[in-house]
Amino acid sequence: MERTYVMIKPDGVQRNLVGQIINKFESKGYRLASMKLLRITEEQAKEHYKEHIGKPFFPGLLEYIISGPVVAMVWEGKDVVAAARQMMGKTNPLEAAPGTIRGDFGLDIGRNVIHGADSVKSAEREIAIYFNKQEICSYEKTLESWLYE
């Protein structure tokens, strides 16, 4: 099974959206393998968003992502990276379809509620920033025989 990294950003935590967002992933049938509430350090943020260093929006992104607690999660399931991206919707909430997390809850591109890895490789890299191997709990659910062929 594939793994992905999903993070409910500070605006999602402050707006009490954590439960609703987790419910969307659980209702879809994905397995929560790890989760923690944390304040991201500046070093973690720079590592996470290293491809954006030097871009005009980077200082604001850095300031925002370390401004309050986030919920960091590892989700498992078949094609979970692509599915999570689809469930989140486009980065700009104004372009995100209704029914997606950003389409339903996001108002501004700079406060778009959620982050998700964009590839399996990115998911592996991002998971390693926030979790050690002992914190990830893989397990089988009997429900999975009803979800996958």
* Residue-wise pLDDT tens digits, 78-126: 999 999 999 999 999 999 999 999 999 999 999 999 999 999 999 999 9
- Hey, what's the torsion of the CAs at 100, 4, 60, 97, to 10 degrees? -10
Q: Which are the catalytic amino acids? A: 115
What is the C-alpha to C-alpha distance for residues 131 and 73, in angstroms, rounded to an integer?
Answer: 9
What is the reported pLDDT for 29?
94
- Predicted confidence (pLDDT) per residue in 27-58, tens digit: 999 999 999 999 999 999 999 999 999 999 99
Q: Which among 121, 89, 119, 123 has a CA at the least distance from the CA of 4?
A: 123
CATH fold of 2-140: Alpha-Beta Plaits (3.30.70)
Please state the domain extents for the chain. Answer: 2-140
Query: Is 74 strand, coil or helix?
Result: strand
CB atoms within 10 A of CB 26: 12
